A = this chain, B = another copy of it.
């Protein structure tokens, strides 16, 4: 006989703590729910007597499918203790003890057995309860619920088996609603339900309450090793040997008369965060009536008038719970004949806004530290504050007006309002041609639908989960999205969707809240958010900055973006993409003119460069030059220069560069103005030149058609353009002639840019500003590339400063976005004063994925099948890309200890990635201005979570 303790009574939390060694150990032993109930009991909160069968019992059960030795005896003893504590008795019709049975693991785990209520009811005790309560319908309904819940949850009978006799009976009686069934009806149905159990299982619904407990306990233990629970644990990385506890808790009833009642409440307002009790109650009602919405509930304050003593006790208890747990609580209570019972307390869910207000308020109230406050708010909540939203009032009004249409999985946050279209082509057309705000609705989406999704304000699907194609793509492009709204049925023939009897036709308006998964009919008002006016958020983010080591910078191409970034707290610009400016309609023609003449001109220039070198070195092809030779060579060089100067193509080339120079200068001046006093990293031209020209396919089609139809007007020009586009065509442009490679083959563009940067910086300095330009060379893969390009550019910078007579502080550095650059970072750091990880390209090349292609084809498959845990373009791949980055930082700093290291790829705004950047010792992360606030919080979290 073992003396192992498998069962803990409500008042045995100290024993549990002693055995388990810590509070975390108690949660492991008793599960989260059991531990919380025990904790409430310990601090003197009135909780109905209960006991918990430990997770160890669950684990011991798994191998043999038998309760471990001693467990059942301890359970029987615990039941006797409940009987003693309540004065009620299991199976005693005179005063029957009823209990609930719930699973409860250390971590909340969907996939395990739910709750079974009213255990202890049987034919006899039901009769006794009727006498006690005088409410036959209530008791019979409780009894049939027990049989039904027990049948489906414990015995595994399909729900439909119970729905069938129920619906048939209603039809027979001509009832529409369940509430029309009276006590007699339910009594009849209890017999039907018992028959269902007998037919499916070959035995009767167990009348013995102990047998009910035994079955329910085994069902909880079995559910731990059920497929859904295992799948969930795999996904969430929860170990299999944690086990689940079983909580057996005395039932209390709020429907015992007018001195009874039940309610749910939050200790602060979960929408706004205001410090006042927020909840609902019903007099003479059971808990589920509050939730079911059959009767109209009352605001919690009203209870003060109806059962004042219990209400006052409730207020005191609630405050005690908040004090004890240092956080806003979500509580459930029942008042049975004037006596308050607390059934549950847990940390209350809250809106982003409330989360921030409560956290900052609690700091001011002296309840929690600033650091604790920072940890209470998630970066995602901060992010939500920046998206347009529907106000709580707006949603409440919509709900009251019965405009709630459906609810699905909240796949991509933000609110969206638009007209519904059921296919991608129509969605795109309506947006592009008619300027409509479009909500694209599909059963599910496929890669073919992406063009429609990109035209949409929001996306709604009736199938699929959080990793479905629609979800992945929507998050990718920041489009609000709800998936798996399974109540909606879509009729593609009629072009309409229906949910719970309400139909929305194509072209009609709906409103989506991607943050919560709610769909409304019609147009809800969007409330835009100005972050800087959110005082609590600003305060919280300032605390974040005090805590974090990693700086947050922003990617911004234009002064207006830089200004926003700065107002959101960015401490620098980590990436200005100069070529974005090239795409502006007023500039593109000049850029194209430059490109179309660049190869021709560069070849001419290369000749002269060779001759100039020969002249400078005094040797040509291995021969030393006589004075006479030198004079001849000089003349030749001068003639070549003159020839180039007179060449129309070269003129066009240099002319275009001359036009672009002052324009870029203006761009950069604006940035230095917006970011005076802070660093601004400007990346020199990166994309392959053909990106600035029309597509080859379009030109091919056009010239072929013109030729077939004998159209000659303009054909020659088009063919010349096609010829140039073809000559620039690359089979894999992502890995082609771009970045620093352009700087080597066509050096004039980068030279022009550096001249513009330093002219702008000098002018800014002369005008009293404080510019800090950092010139970033993209796509370095070999240190020799930098050796070839950088010194010339530095010379230009120095020349401009000398000409302007002013010094600005500056740096020259490089993107690290080629795997080879990571592997040879030590060599590269000898030249580069800073590294900026371009994780978009680095991820592409490290994985060998072409992002454009992959996200439209196999990558969605990969994420759905779990081959990749996440899209590596959204959250950094630590095992692969991350290891390369770690090596780069390590090797780079070994050579140049003060090397500035940052990240400017899209993942730079992702909290999980930010933590990694912190861990490997980067100086800053750079992200889009809108993600700066969440990044600031994430940077603080990185410190706090890795102490």
Per-residue B-contact encoding for A713-749, CB less than 8 Å = 1, 0 else: 0000000000000000011111111000100110000
**CA–CA, A865 and B610, complex, Å:** 12
Partner of A784, one of B735, B854, B868: B868
A228-B622 contact given A708-B708, A819-B848, A847-B820, CB 8 Å threshold? yes
Partner of A736, one of B617, B701, B857, B862: B857
* B736 and A854 form a contact (CB under 8 A): yes
Partner of A744, one of B623, B788, B858: B858
**Chain B residues within 8 Å of A817, by CB:** 848
A782-B737 contact given A730-B853, A818-B848, CB 8 Å threshold? no
* A161 and B745 form a contact (CB under 8 A): no
Q: Is A881 an interface residue (CB 8 A)?
A: yes
**CA–CA, A619 and B156, complex, Å:** 11
Q: Is A114 an interface residue (CB 8 A)?
A: no
Q: State which of A360-368, A403-411, A428-436, A838-846 sits at the interface with chain B.
A: A838-846
Q: Is A200 an interface residue (CB 8 A)?
A: yes
Interface SS of A by simple majority: helix
**CA–CA, A845 and B821, complex, Å:** 11
* A848 and B848 form a contact (CB under 8 A): no
For residue A161, give the distance in angstroms from its CB to the closest CB of chain B: 7
Partner of A785, one of B629, B781, B867: B867
* A845 and B867 form a contact (CB under 8 A): no
Q: Is A454 an interface residue (CB 8 A)?
A: no
Per-residue B-contact encoding for A131-161, CB less than 8 Å = 1, 0 else: 0000000000000000000000000111111
A820-B841 contact given A626-B157, A857-B736, CB 8 Å threshold? no
* A227 and B619 form a contact (CB under 8 A): yes
**Chain B residues within 8 Å of A629, by CB:** 158
**CA–CA, A877 and B853, complex, Å:** 28
For residue A851, give the distance in angstroms from its CB to the closest CB of chain B: 9
For residue A409, give the distance in angstroms from its CB to the closest CB of chain B: 13
Q: Is A779 an interface residue (CB 8 A)?
A: yes
* A732 and B850 form a contact (CB under 8 A): yes
**Chain B residues within 8 Å of A707, by CB:** 705
Partner of A880, one of B159, B782, B857: B782
Q: Is A823 an interface residue (CB 8 A)?
A: yes
**Chain B residues within 8 Å of A880, by CB:** 781-782, 819-820, 823-824
Q: Is A650 an interface residue (CB 8 A)?
A: no
Q: Is A17 an interface residue (CB 8 A)?
A: no
Per-residue B-contact encoding for A759-796, CB less than 8 Å = 1, 0 else: 00000000000000000000101101101100000000
**Chain B residues within 8 Å of A619, by CB:** 227-228
Q: Is A921 an interface residue (CB 8 A)?
A: no
Partner of A704, one of B160, B704, B846, B847: B704
**Chain B residues within 8 Å of A294, by CB:** none
Which of the listed residues A737, A785, A817, A827 has the most CB atoms from chain B within 10 Å of its own CB?
A737
**Chain B residues within 8 Å of A618, by CB:** 227
* B735 and A734 form a contact (CB under 8 A): yes
For residue A393, give the distance in angstroms from its CB to the closest CB of chain B: 33
A781-B732 contact given A701-B700, A704-B708, A867-B788, CB 8 Å threshold? no
| Smallest CB gap from A707: residue in B | B705
* A741 and B858 form a contact (CB under 8 A): yes
* A850 and B730 form a contact (CB under 8 A): yes
**CA–CA, A160 and B626, complex, Å:** 10
Per-residue B-contact encoding for A456-473, CB less than 8 Å = 1, 0 else: 000000000000000000
A824-B867 contact given A736-B850, A853-B735, CB 8 Å threshold? no
**Chain B residues within 8 Å of A844, by CB:** 735
| Smallest CB gap from A157: residue in B | B626
* B865 and A732 form a contact (CB under 8 A): no
Q: Is A852 an interface residue (CB 8 A)?
A: yes
* A850 and B784 form a contact (CB under 8 A): no
For residue A907, give the distance in angstroms from its CB to the closest CB of chain B: 15
* A848 and B841 form a contact (CB under 8 A): yes
Q: Is A172 an interface residue (CB 8 A)?
A: no
For residue A781, give the distance in angstroms from its CB to the closest CB of chain B: 5
**Chain B residues within 8 Å of A785, by CB:** 867
Please give the number of chain A residues whose Cβ is less than 8 angstroms from any Cβ of chain B in the complex: 77
Partner of A845, one of B701, B827, B845: B845
How many copies of this chain sit in the oligomeric assembly? 2
**CA–CA, A744 and B865, complex, Å:** 10
Per-residue B-contact encoding for A824-836, CB less than 8 Å = 1, 0 else: 1001000000000
A846-B865 contact given A228-B622, A731-B852, A732-B852, CB 8 Å threshold? no
**CA–CA, A763 and B836, complex, Å:** 57
| Smallest CB gap from A706: residue in B | B708
Q: Is A169 an interface residue (CB 8 A)?
A: no
* B827 and A879 form a contact (CB under 8 A): yes
**Chain B residues within 8 Å of A704, by CB:** 700-701, 704-705, 708
* A781 and B737 form a contact (CB under 8 A): no
**Chain B residues within 8 Å of A626, by CB:** 157-158, 160-161, 200
Q: Is A799 an interface residue (CB 8 A)?
A: no
* B881 and A820 form a contact (CB under 8 A): yes
* A848 and B781 form a contact (CB under 8 A): yes
| Smallest CB gap from A623: residue in B | B158
| Smallest CB gap from A698: residue in B | B700
**Chain B residues within 8 Å of A200, by CB:** 626
**Chain B residues within 8 Å of A881, by CB:** 820
Q: Is A274 an interface residue (CB 8 A)?
A: no
**Chain B residues within 8 Å of A708, by CB:** 704-705, 708-709
**CA–CA, A731 and B735, complex, Å:** 11
Q: Is A883 an interface residue (CB 8 A)?
A: yes
**CA–CA, A577 and B543, complex, Å:** 60
Q: Is A861 an interface residue (CB 8 A)?
A: yes
| Smallest CB gap from A603: residue in B | B446
Partner of A733, one of B161, B701, B732, B846: B732
**Chain B residues within 8 Å of A820, by CB:** 846-848, 877, 880-881
* B705 and A853 form a contact (CB under 8 A): no
**Chain B residues within 8 Å of A847, by CB:** 781-782, 818, 820
* B883 and A823 form a contact (CB under 8 A): yes
| Smallest CB gap from A856: residue in B | B730
For residue A679, give the distance in angstroms from its CB to the closest CB of chain B: 27
* B158 and A779 form a contact (CB under 8 A): no
Q: Is A306 an interface residue (CB 8 A)?
A: no
For residue A624, give the distance in angstroms from its CB to the closest CB of chain B: 6
For residue A780, give the distance in angstroms from its CB to the closest CB of chain B: 10
**CA–CA, A879 and B850, complex, Å:** 25
| Smallest CB gap from A734: residue in B | B732
**Chain B residues within 8 Å of A705, by CB:** 704-705, 707-708
* B862 and A744 form a contact (CB under 8 A): yes
| Smallest CB gap from A728: residue in B | B857
**Chain B residues within 8 Å of A156, by CB:** 624
**CA–CA, A697 and B849, complex, Å:** 24
A745-B861 contact given A848-B819, A853-B730, CB 8 Å threshold? yes
| Smallest CB gap from A159: residue in B | B623
**CA–CA, A622 and B226, complex, Å:** 11
Q: Is A248 an interface residue (CB 8 A)?
A: no
Q: Is A884 an interface residue (CB 8 A)?
A: yes
Q: Is A308 an interface residue (CB 8 A)?
A: no
Q: Is A165 an interface residue (CB 8 A)?
A: no
**CA–CA, A247 and B461, complex, Å:** 84
Q: Is A866 an interface residue (CB 8 A)?
A: yes
A823-B884 contact given A158-B623, A705-B708, CB 8 Å threshold? yes
**Chain B residues within 8 Å of A787, by CB:** 867
Instruction: Please give me the 10 A-B residue pairs with the lowest Cβ-Cβ distance, nearest first.
Output: A732-B850, A708-B708, A820-B880, A735-B850, A730-B853, A819-B819, A784-B867, A818-B848, A732-B732, A704-B704
22 contacts between A and B (CB under 8 A): A696-B697, A697-B700, A700-B700, A700-B704, A701-B704, A704-B708, A708-B709, A731-B852, A732-B734, A732-B850, A734-B848, A735-B844, A735-B850, A737-B853, A744-B862, A781-B848, A782-B868, A819-B845, A819-B848, A819-B880, A820-B877, A845-B846
Given contacts A705-B705, A823-B883, 19 further A-B contacts (CB under 8 A): A156-B624, A227-B619, A228-B622, A705-B708, A732-B853, A733-B850, A735-B844, A735-B853, A736-B857, A744-B862, A784-B867, A788-B865, A819-B846, A819-B880, A820-B846, A820-B880, A823-B884, A824-B883, A827-B879
